[in-house]
Chain A
Amino acid sequence: MQAVVQEIVGQMGNEKAPLLQVLLAVQDASPRNYVSEEAVRAIARSMKVSRCRVYSTASFYTEISLKPRGRHLIRICGNAPCENAGRTAIMEAIQQELGIEAGETTADGLISLEKVSCLGSCYKSPAIKVDHQVYGNLTPEEAVAVIRSLREGGEQ
């Protein structure tokens, strides 16, 4: 872990590296999309800051997770344009398909489901984001199909 973190921090300027950007890069490098306790310690050591400082920044941001998440992240927009366009039905269909609630991860560690703020895709509400890809104008059935293809791909 220390080596991975040291490399990321080194690329970003060592002690002068921007902490939030380091946290994001470390999280991206983690297959479980989170910043572990070990990683926090490594970041603190590499950047010569206190662990408390690293935690303080990390815990402020919704997109930084200090707990393991799924290898794939499904984000469902919860703002008014998507809500009016039927995002609740999509959320329910996906919850049922995965057997988890928003904020949880499937038992096999494959998928986490999150309710997020506007994805800037309200011209195609309801919008969801699966890893780096935004899908819009979805029906609940289509949303479930997207999730199924993810599961099939993930189990290979």
Chain B
Amino acid sequence: MSMIDCQLVFNVENREYVDLDLYRSRGGYGALAKVLAADPRESVYVLKEAGLKGRGGASFPTGLKIEMVRSNQEQERYIIINADEGEPGTFKDRYIMTHLPFQLLEGVTIAAYLAGASRGILYVRHEYDEPRSVMRESIAQAKRAGLLGENILGSGFSLDIELFSGAGSYLCGEETALLSSIEGRKGRPQVKPPYPTQQGLWGKPTLINNVETLSNIPKIMEKGALWYRSLGTEDSPGTKLISLSGDIRFRGLVEVPFGASFRDIVYEYGGGPKPGRKVKAVNIGGASGVLIPEEMLDVPLEYGACARAGITIGSGAVFVLDDTRSILDNVSNRINFFLHESCGKCTPCREGLRQAQIIMEKLIAGQAVMKDVQNLERYTRVMQNASFCGLGQAAGNSVISSLHYYGEEYCSRCKDGEEDLYGEESA
């Protein structure tokens, strides 16, 4: 695998920390020099051609987002690096910050230059003490080397990056909540539009990107859009960092070109289940993602194909449950998580989650009836359709997918469970 790996974007296989000297000796910061000397419009064009999409969850085209900020009349603009990484089961941004800090900083600097932003904020979740201190030190080093701060590489372009810390709120990863949090308010989401690209931090145009997204940029600018497209598929160029956890032999971070199947991810990259065990379910995209059965693992890791199969790639967390696990316990764990993280601003999410928690507890205690399961589905649908922000909209994904694929586990815990899950009443 290593032959292929060294041609990817992150090359995580050796778990190597790349310091500034090593990074530069391998051509690091060459892309920035190239971009600073070129016509920014052409560089943005390369990013669009490469087909890079956001890795923070919403998969919005990155080149287009940069262009939207760039084309704004307002000259005071910001770049925010979203390192809130709150999705349970995800540790890719942590890895980038602790192992490849300069690849991230080069990407940030290029993106800021193209968007015309001269102030940046790196918002790191509270739990990440080590990544925060590595980034603090790396920012200082880059400044001393003339790669950040005033007049970068003699180009006249300046960029300052400040480090901010989150305070234990999952919701603050959502971009408008993130803005509120930086501005010192409660981290509650705001109405869009206006989008942050139009009116973001302090009302100014703001580019908000995920750590992994930005860290792709130096490689694209260095090697070109064609090279990038040669990795991955037509629909989804490039690679995705996958955080593997759960009941598999190799837990940890892997870099997977788009187009590989989830079966490859679980069995090749993850080494399959532990000896004597079978894969029962795979959870993709963290707590807000779906649970799929082993038979569905042939779906390729690709935005289009996944959307058609009802899978959200999200942060790229892949969490495996083997045949010793209870689906209901795992779904219940997620509901409790979201109930804790919900900000309570809108009713469908706040009340829907509370009801879901009550029903899950009844089910697990063997006290529920089929009617409860039907209600659970109904409340969850309302939550998906009527919640104000992405938290509530996605919180029920594990409920709906598990009802679909593991309905019998719900039924078998009901007092009147012999009946069909979708009896007359839900017609």
* Residues of A that sit less than 8 Å from B by CB: 18-21, 23-24, 56-57, 60-64, 75, 78-81, 83-84, 116-125, 129, 132, 134
* Residues of B that sit less than 8 Å from A by CB: 85-91, 93-94, 125-130, 164-170, 181-188, 243-247, 251-253, 283, 287, 317, 319, 321, 325, 329-330, 333-334, 336-337, 340-341, 343
Q: Which residues of B contact A84 (CB under 8 A)?
A: 246-247, 321, 325, 330
Summarize A's interface: helix, strand, loop or mixed.
Answer: mixed
A119-B127, A120-B90 as given contacts; A20 in contact with B181, CB under 8 Å: yes
A21 touches B165 (CB 8 A): yes
Among B168, B251, B252, the residue within 8 A (CB) of A117 is B168
Give bound CA distance, A134 to B130, whole Å: 9
Q: Which residues of B contact A61 (CB under 8 A)?
A: 167-169, 187
Among B85, B329, B333, the residue within 8 A (CB) of A120 is B85
A123 touches B253 (CB 8 A): yes
A80 touches B334 (CB 8 A): yes
B287 touches A124 (CB 8 A): no
Q: How far is the CB of B351 from chain A (nearest CB, A)?
A: 20
Q: How far is the CB of B36 from chain A (nearest CB, A)?
A: 30
Beyond the given pairs A18-B183, A122-B317, 8 more chain A to chain B contacts, judged by CB atoms under 8 angstroms and listed by A's residue number, are A20-B165, A61-B169, A61-B187, A62-B167, A63-B126, A80-B89, A116-B168, A117-B337
A122 touches B337 (CB 8 A): no
Q: Which residues of A contact B87 (CB under 8 A)?
A: 118
> Which residue of chain A has the shortest Cβ distance to B92 in the bound complex?
A120
Top-3 shortest CB links A-B: A19-B184, A63-B168, A61-B167
Number of A-B residue pairs having CB atoms within 8 Å of each other in the complex = 120
Q: Which residues of B contact A117 (CB under 8 A)?
A: 86, 88, 168, 170, 337, 340-341
A18-B164, A18-B182, A61-B169 as given contacts; A120 in contact with B94, CB under 8 Å: yes
Q: How far is the CB of B172 from chain A (nearest CB, A)?
A: 8
Give bound CA distance, A134 to B125, whole Å: 14
> Which residue of chain B has the shortest Cβ distance to A131 in the bound complex?
B129
B91 touches A122 (CB 8 A): yes
B184 touches A123 (CB 8 A): no
Give bound CA distance, A81 to B167, whole Å: 22
B333 touches A123 (CB 8 A): no
B91 touches A120 (CB 8 A): yes
Q: How far is the CB of A2 from chain B (nearest CB, A)?
A: 20
> Which residue of chain A has the shortest Cβ distance to B85 in the bound complex?
A120
Q: Which residues of B contact A134 (CB under 8 A)?
A: 130
A122 touches B243 (CB 8 A): yes
Give bound CA distance, A110 to B7, whole Å: 50
Q: How far is the CB of A91 from chain B (nearest CB, A)?
A: 13
Give bound CA distance, A119 to B90, whole Å: 9
Q: Which residues of A contact B166 (CB under 8 A)?
A: 63
B186 touches A56 (CB 8 A): yes
A78-B337, A79-B89, A80-B88 as given contacts; A125 in contact with B245, CB under 8 Å: yes
A20-B184, A63-B167 as given contacts; A81 in contact with B127, CB under 8 Å: no
Give bound CA distance, A80 to B284, whole Å: 13
> Which residue of chain B has the shortest Cβ distance to A59 in the bound complex?
B186
Q: How far is the CB of A6 from chain B (nearest CB, A)?
A: 17
Q: Which residues of A contact B343 (CB under 8 A)?
A: 60
> Which residue of chain B has the shortest Cβ distance to A124 in the bound complex?
B251
> Which residue of chain B has the shortest Cβ distance to A47 in the bound complex?
B184
Question: Taking each of A61, A83, A124, which has the highest tally of chain B beta carbons within 10 Å of its own beta carbon?
Answer: A61
